[in-house]
Chains A and B, each alone.
Chain A
Amino acid sequence: MPLPKILARAAGLATEAGSGALQQLQHLRLPGVGQASVTDDPDTAARRWRAVTVLTDPEQLRTETPAPLARFGDRLEVRVTPAPGDRGAELAARFRSPVTEEELGELRSALREAKQRIETGEVLRNEPQPHGHRAQTPQGKALDGMDERAAKEGVL
């Protein structure tokens, strides 16, 4: 099956603005396509530890909660453990009580941000980028919506 077709299905035939499309892509089960993401029910999903591995000294990371995670206050539990091998530290976080998909998305992007700040000293930006005329097609709109959500989505 060609990817455009998979996407079109995932995006509800690309009729909606696409913010939901990406989420659907991750939960998509099509014959022969497989599935990258988890099948947790929403309650389990909300309580699952979400983790990034950061190439840094675990002891140092433990002394201060990274700013992007500290923003959540005590709604989050944060855990730092040494990663096996020479991989640094595992930085994990989870909500203390059930949350919305949007809040989960904010946690994903906060974990990625925390990792980037520690490893590279800044958060990578990709807007604005030079581009030409954006024709307003349904597929284009769906992709814009996905793009907007992509920092908050993924299997993290």
Chain B
Amino acid sequence: MKAATWTGVNEVSVEEVPEPQLLNDHDVILKVKQSVTCGSDLHLLGGYIPFMRAGDVLGHEFIGEIVEAGPAVRNRKVGDRVVGAPFAACGNCWYCKQEQYSLCDNGNAAPGITEGLWGQSPGGCLGYSHAMGGYAGSHAEYIRVPYGDVGTFVVPEGVSDTRALFASDAASTGWMGADLAGTKPGDVVAVWGAGGVGQMAARAAMLLGAEQVFVVDRIPERLQQVREHVGAEAIDYSRTDVLAELRERTGGRGPDVCIEAVGMEAHSSGSAGVYDQVKQQLRLQTDRPTALREAVMACRKGGSLFTLGVFAAMVDKFPLGALMNKGLTFRGAQVHAQRYIPELLERMERGELTTEHLATHVLPLSEAPRGYQMFKEKEDGCVRAVFTPGS
């Protein structure tokens, strides 16, 4: 079959690869209808998470049809139209029972790398390197999903493929950030990053009752989507001082909830930007935490901060003093998609949550290299490149 693979730093290829097989009794195999680029892939692509082997199949946000199911699969059947969760989660361990699916104890068959890096291993993620389980991803004609009953969700008939697709990752990640940060009715929420994840976090905050929601970015097309499709207020950080702007617009308090949806490749300008660049060139830090630092400084006293943006190892100049003295709560997580997908699909069916605008570029799988190029460089207003392996 055809698949889009990582073949080196900043190099995506389309190759002929073997079809996946059922390896475990709980597996299902999907014929992929749509599979989409995610900001997390950029960290792999750029070599910031150096556990990719040339030839690894990318992709972890997808919708498809079940074409094969292992003998232990109970609640899914051949022909079901399903969205897949990015993380492989068993559904039976203590973490899965707490609905912390991305922390599943049994989702990564080779936890040695992440235990060494982080002290404990989170779960395994499809198409996300040999540190996270070494699974082939969804940018392919077929994909194997382990623990099929837990990791796939039947899409209601009234919800289109493209809307449902984003329940898989962008929308469930955004929703998780707003939810686990403790967003309540009446809150003021600020989100850094207007990619798919940041936009969905902002939308979730609004649906959870936030009174005022801001999204910070510098890409005009994305800020326009924030105003038009999300209904939140956009702040262009290249034109204004974000901290001053947020103080002015929140009665001097700062937002109650700050959600970081940028990650370790944050762009920065000014002296901090030069500092981070030099640090990185001198190889003194692995990750650039520009947006995270700003979020800590912006957050109101006693407020809550959540990082959805992916970080791999160490950051420098983290304002721990501000975090401690202002009494902030700081959390982060990889997506517990299984916890949110059912509710998101219902909201999608009711029309409360729309996602189609994120699919700015729909391309055949053969154009994956161009899709990633546009997504990475944000060319032509690209917010997400969606591949259609079947077509």
Residue numbers of A with Cβ under 8 A of B are 1-7, 22, 25-26, 28, 32-34, 36-37, 52-53, 55, 86-88, 112, 115-116, 119-135, 137, 139-140, 143-144, 146-147, 149-156
The segment out of B116-124, B337-345, B349-357, B380-388 that lies at the interface is B116-124
From B48, B51, B93, B112, A151 is in contact (CB under 8 Å) with: B112
B106 touches A129 (CB 8 A): no
B48 and A143 contact, CB distance less than 8 A: no
Q: Which residues of B contact A151 (CB under 8 A)?
A: 109-112
Most buried by B among A34, A146, A156: A146
Docked complex: B88-129 residues within 8 A CB-CB of A = 88, 90, 92-94, 97, 105-107, 109-113, 115-121, 124
A126-B105 in contact (CB<8A): no
Q: Does B54 contact A (CB under 8 A)?
A: yes
A126-B135, A150-B112, A150-B113 given; A132·B13 CB < 8 A: yes
Please give the distance in Å from A152's CB to the nearest CB on chain B: 7
Indicate whether A155 sits within 8 Å of B116 (C-beta atoms), given known contacts A1-B283, A126-B23, A132-B13: yes
| Known pairs A120-B92, A126-B135, A139-B50 / 4 extra A-B pairs, C-beta < 8 Å | A133-B55, A146-B112, A151-B110, A154-B112
Say whether A22 contacts B118, CB under 8 Å. Answer: no
If over half of A's interface residues share one DSSP class (helix, strand or loop), that class is named, otherwise mixed; here it is loop
Given contacts A36-B115, A120-B26, A156-B115, contact A130 B286 (CB under 8 A): no
| Cβ contact of B284, chosen from A25, A32, A88, cutoff 8 A | A32
Top 8 A-B residue pairs of the complex, sorted by shortest distance between their CB atoms: A153-B112, A150-B110, A132-B15, A154-B115, A150-B112, A132-B55, A26-B116, A132-B5
Residues on A with beta carbons closer than 8 Å to the beta carbon of B232: none
Q: Which of B1-52 contact A (CB under 8 A)?
A: 1, 3, 5, 7-8, 13, 15-21, 23-26, 47-51
B371 at the interface (CB under 8 A from A): no
Supposing A25-B116, A36-B119 touch, asked if A121 and B72 sit within 8 A by C-beta, the answer is yes
Assembly CA distance A126 to B144 (angstroms): 10
Q: What residues on A are CB-neighbors of B305 within 8 Å?
A: none
Q: Is the CB of B314 within 8 A of A132?
A: no
Let me know if B25 and A155 touch, CB within 8 A: no
- Within the complex, the shortest CB–CB distance from A146 to chain B, in Å, comes to 6
Tell me which of B57, B92, B110 contacts A147 (CB under 8 A).
Answer: B110
Are B112 and A22 in contact, CB atoms less than 8 angstroms apart?
yes
**Min CB distance, B265 to chain A, in Å?**
12
Q: Which partner residue on chain A sits nearest B107 by CB separation?
A: A124
Q: B134 interface residue, CB < 8 Å from A?
A: yes
User: Does residue B336 face the partner (Cβ distance < 8 Å to A)?
Assistant: no
Q: Is the CB of A6 within 8 A of B90?
A: no
Cβ of A78 to closest chain B Cβ, rounded Å: 19
Asked whether B257 is an interface residue with its Cβ less than 8 Å from the other chain, the reply is: no
Nearest residue, chain A, Cβ from B25: A122
Specify which chain A residues have a CB less than 8 angstroms from the CB of B51 in the assembled complex: 143, 146
The answer on a CB contact under 8 Å between B112 and A6 is no
CA distance A65 to B313 in the complex (A): 38
Contact residues in B for A34 (Cβ distance below 8 Å): 314
Contact yes or no, B20 A129, CB < 8 A: yes
B133 at the interface (CB under 8 A from A): yes
Tell whether, in the assembled complex, residue A153 and residue B115 are in contact, meaning their CB atoms are under 8 Å apart.
Answer: yes
What B residues does A124 contact at CB under 8 A?
A: 24, 88, 106-107, 109, 146
The reply to whether A131 and B57 contact each other, CB–CB distance below 8 Å, is yes
Report the Cα distance A147→B140, complex, angstroms.
Answer: 23
Most chain-B CB neighbours within 10 Å: which of A4, A32, A126, A132?
Answer: A132
Complex Cα gap A33–B5 (Å): 31
Decide: B57 and A155 in contact? CB cutoff 8 A.
no
Q: Which residues of A contact B124 (CB under 8 A)?
A: 126
**Option from A119, A133, A135, A140 in Cβ contact (under 8 Å) with B93:** A119
Partner of B7 from A115, A120, A133 at Cβ < 8 Å: A133
